[in-house]
Amino acid sequence: MITLSINGLPASVEKGTTVLEAARFLGFPIPTLCHKEGLTPYGACRLCVVEIGEGPGARLVSSCTYPAEEGLKVRTASERVMKARRMIIELLLASCPQSKTIQDLASRHNVRQQRFRQEHENCILCGLCVRMCKEQMMAGAIGFRGRGKNRSIGTPFDMRSEECRLCGGCMQICPACQARCTYTEPERAICGGCANLSPPCLEKEQFTDMMCYMSPCVACEIKKD
């Protein structure tokens, strides 16, 4: 067992537990975006920052990937943490303002505007879809491609992937495209999150066993007419 202190409260956790898990166990909320139970932590969005250590040695780390250490002192909502978190939310808003998930985060953290150049990306490169596809759907059909400003998500060679099971899991988990599926115009009714994938619903005829997790989505119904 490892004993650490979170916001002054002592906690004993198993070796291998992350700071995020320990904090949540004690009931301290830490917002996450690229972390989902059942998928390996990835540390992409940095939303889950916490402050560790004390005095001048104190630093910010991503709690979803930081393992609990003996004697570690963690602050989950210090001024420095909140400032960093709000900055991250501003940056997310600057890139994907249409995402319901990000809008909700912004309102919960009282971020009313962002100061950067407004873009309209449909991906924040959180890697959730890639991990979903690989670790839960056992398909490994999509992945990251390129790097730097050319980094994107999609299938190899941008071609219909033979491995894809058309399960829709990637779109279900995507935090950036969820707002898209409420489109009522059928020709625009694609999730857009994984812009390079054809939406499974639109290929339903060829794939009778398709399961889609998007319960409020109406795109499929529109297609039927």
Partner 1 sequence: MDTERILSIIRSSNGKGGIISILEEIQEEFTYLPEAALRLVAKETERSLADIYGVATFYKAFSLKPRGRHCVSACLGTACHVRGARTIVEEFKEQLHVSPGETTPDKEITFETVNCLGACALGPIVVSDEHYFANVTARGVRDIIQGTKDGTYGSNGRGREDLFSLEVSCPTCNRSLMDKEQYLYDHPAILVNVSMNGKKGRLRISSLYGHFAEIREHDIPNDTIVNLSCPHCSANLRSGPGCVECGAPTASMRVNGGDGVMRICTRTGCSGHMLDLDGEGTGQ
Residues that bind partner 1 (CB under 8 A): 130, 134, 140-147, 155-157, 161, 163
Nearer to partner 1, 197 or 214 (CB): 197
Q: Measuring CA to CA, how many Å separate 189 from each of 129, 184, 193, 201, 221?
A: 19, 7, 12, 10, 11
Compute the least distance from the CB of residue 20 to ligand FES, in Å.
7
Footprint (CB under 6 A) of ligand SF4, residues 184-213:
189-191, 193-194, 199-201, 212
Element (H, E) at 53: none
Is residue 62 near ligand FES by the rule CB under 6 A?
yes
Nearer to ligand FES, 29 or 156 (CB): 29
Helix segments in the chain, DSSP class H? 19-25, 79-95, 100-108, 128-131, 169-173, 219-224
Residue position matching structure tokens 């119904």:
221
Chain positions contacting ligand SF4, by CB under 6 A:
123-129, 132-133, 137, 139, 141-142, 153, 164-171, 173-177, 181, 189-191, 193-194, 199-201, 212, 214, 217, 219-220
